[in-house]
Chains A and B, each alone.
Chain A
């Protein structure tokens, strides 16, 4: 992974992410919001995308903590917001859906994100059928 941040975590950034998603969705629309996630996936995490384009999913798998099929039973961000009694924006999970979609663009892989609700989802990376 290109970024190696260590130390304590400021979990309250999940609240700002949620507030940002809600604001951008309402004020600028889902298309704009997805555009920001697309740029985040392809520019901030450029090395993940470049590797996927070259057929190498290892960085993304590592980002997913060593699973090719990632089953999230309790999303830490959603759990944090719920614990704090903060309404989770309906577009909150788009950060994952849109970024996974953007990472798979122009690569031999497809990444599906199945949102199951209440902070649960299944993300699957698979090679596209030839």
Chain B
């Protein structure tokens, strides 16, 4: 059995194997995860709106041991991940981390949010740093604005938004506010 706290390293292997078969195989898999997550979450989010989504991500912070906080925003909230346990584990790995690891997250969040009638915008900041910011909102204009502001927006299903295959390496952490963003 793959222990649940080792799952993401298996996930990372699935991404690499599918991507080796073609980018479409990878994004089809993300859509499948999105479909499974929709079954789990979409009705709950549709009923409970941003409050239900916020409650879900509060639980994720606890269960996945994230260093993150949730900040209230008009019409929604912002999830500020300061240390993503998922990418951290994919990087702390004897196997090679997958270069587009971060993109899978929006790969499932986007279909769930669409089905729930909410908007989510994720700024990955860098695919080599275990931090990101994402906004969940019921306000389409706020989502558009956040997308424009994002340094590295995650739009996995938009044509040409995923760069060609490449390895990813952990970037050294420096000062939080003065961190250099070196996106390859």
Interface residues, chain A, CB within 8 Å of chain B?
A: 2-3, 5-17, 19-20, 23-24, 27-28, 32, 35-36, 39-40, 43-47, 72, 75-77, 95-96, 99
Contacts and interface: CB of A to CB of B under 8 A. Distances in A.
9 closest Cβ contacts across the A-B interface? Answer: A43-B95, A13-B7, A7-B65, A46-B94, A10-B63, A5-B5, A13-B4, A19-B36, A44-B9
B14 interface: yes
29 contacts: A2-B94, A3-B9, A5-B5, A5-B6, A5-B89, A8-B63, A8-B64, A9-B4, A9-B63, A10-B60, A11-B4, A13-B4, A13-B5, A14-B4, A15-B40, A16-B11, A16-B33, A27-B28, A28-B18, A28-B25, A39-B13, A43-B95, A44-B6, A44-B10, A44-B12, A46-B94, A47-B94, A95-B1, A95-B2
Given A9-B5, A40-B10, A43-B13, A23 B29 contact: yes
Given A2-B94, A3-B6, A40-B9, A28 B65 contact: no
Interface residues of B, number: 35
A122 B128 CA distance: 40
Given A75-B1, A77-B1, A95-B1, A19 B94 contact: no
Nearest to B108: A16
B174 interface: no
Contacts of A10: 4-5, 60, 63-64
Given A10-B60, A19-B32, A44 B5 contact: no
A3 B92 contact: yes
Contacts of B95: 39-40, 43-44, 46
B63 A36 contact: no
Contacts of B93: 44
A98 B29 CA distance: 21
A9 B95 CA distance: 22
Interface string B59-80: 0101111000000000000000
A32 B13 CA distance: 12
A99 B7 CA distance: 14
Nearest to B35: A19
A70 to B, nearest CB: 10
Which of B1, B13, B28 is most buried by chain A, counting CB atoms within 10 A of its CB?
B1
A76 B2 CA distance: 10
A39 B17 contact: yes
B21 interface: yes
Given A8-B62, A12-B63, 16 more contacts: A3-B6, A9-B4, A9-B63, A10-B60, A13-B5, A13-B7, A17-B7, A36-B17, A40-B13, A43-B13, A43-B94, A43-B95, A44-B10, A44-B94, A45-B94, A96-B1
A14 B8 CA distance: 11
A76 B1 contact: yes
A25 to B, nearest CB: 12
